[in-house]
Every structure is written in C-alpha cells, then in structure tokens.
Amino acid sequence: MQRYTQFLIVALVCGLDQYTKHLVVRHIPYLGEIRVTSFFSVVHGRNYGGIFGFLSQHEAARYIFLIFPLLIVLFLLYYVFLAKAAASRRTALAFVLGGAIGNVYDRLTQGYVTDFLDFYYGAYHWPAFNVADISINLGICLWLWMEFLRTGKETIITSG
C-alpha cells in the first residue's frame, strides 16, 4: 500500500506541474506578465540552464541539465519504488522525483523549462520558478528534516 502513496505523489506533482505550465504557455505570451500583488507576478519565462538559470547561455547546458537530471530520475525511481527504505524517506523523495520528472519532461520535449512564479521587491527579483521546483525543494526539506530528527534521536540515545 505504501508504494501507491509514493506513486500518487509523483503523479499528482507531475500532473499539477504540467497543467500549470500549460496554462501559462496558453494564456501568457512569452516574457509576458500578470501582476498579482506588489511583490508577486505570474510570468512566462524559459530556463535553458540549471537552478536560477545557471549556465543558461552555455551551449553545453542543454546536455548537462538533461543528462544529469535523467540520472537523478533513474536513481530516484529505483529508490522510491524498489529499494528497501523507510516509507517516510521514500515519500519525501517522491516529491523530488515528481518535480524532477516534470522538469526533465520539459527539457526533453521543448529544450527548456517553463518558469512562471515571480517574487520581487522593487527591481530585485527572485529567479522565476514553477510547481516542479517547489516540489523538489519541499521533498529535500522533508528528507533533511527527517535526517535531522533521526540524527538527533541517535545522539540522545547514545549520549544519555
């Protein structure tokens, strides 16, 4: 039953990610913007590089940020669905896997990732991101939190 939970997380994240990107591409012209508040806009951006657009102008970026994430997806597929690991750890990494699949799919089909959530203060903008990015970060934070709690329990047990 636990494996179904992880599969459901991956499917929901991928579905929500692709649906929101589809809405942005369909309703906002490339480089267009819809201001929502004084600090948040929905934009239509394209990321050809890695996190925060890292190496986006470099020719090798297309291959680096396709091959490396594909390897991560393959590892996570094994770990989440086949490895004998704690259900909580597999669940956290299912969020990472769902987001990674969403972004890899974009790179495979379009050559870039569509980003659309733009937070800013005056002229200072945080790099735009998407639902897949949120899921990847959420999964990593959950995983780190569980590791922190596990390490804390081990420290208390061994030192007390």
CA distances (Å), origin 137, targets 25, 63, 92: 23, 23, 10
pLDDT of residue 79: 87
pLDDT digits (tens, 9 = 90+) for 12-41: 999 999 999 999 999 999 999 999 999 999
- Residue 106 is a catalytic residue: no
pLDDT of residue 22: 98
Structure tokens at 26: 């369909």
pLDDT digits (tens, 9 = 90+) for 43-95: 999 998 766 555 555 566 666 667 888 898 999 999 888 888 888 899 999 99
Number of Cβ within a 10 Å radius of residue 35:
11
pLDDT digits (tens, 9 = 90+) for 127-136: 999 999 999 9
pTM of the model: 0.84
Active-site residue, selected from the candidate residues 17, 106, 115, 118: 115
Query: Once rounded to an integer, what is the mean pLDDT over residues 101-108?
Result: 94
Average pLDDT, the chain: 87
pLDDT of residue 51: 60
- Residue 115 is a catalytic residue: yes
Order of strands, edge to edge, in the sheet holding 124-125?
33-35, 40-47, 113-121, 124-125
Structure tokens at 15: 């579905």
pLDDT of residue 48: 85
pLDDT of residue 33: 96
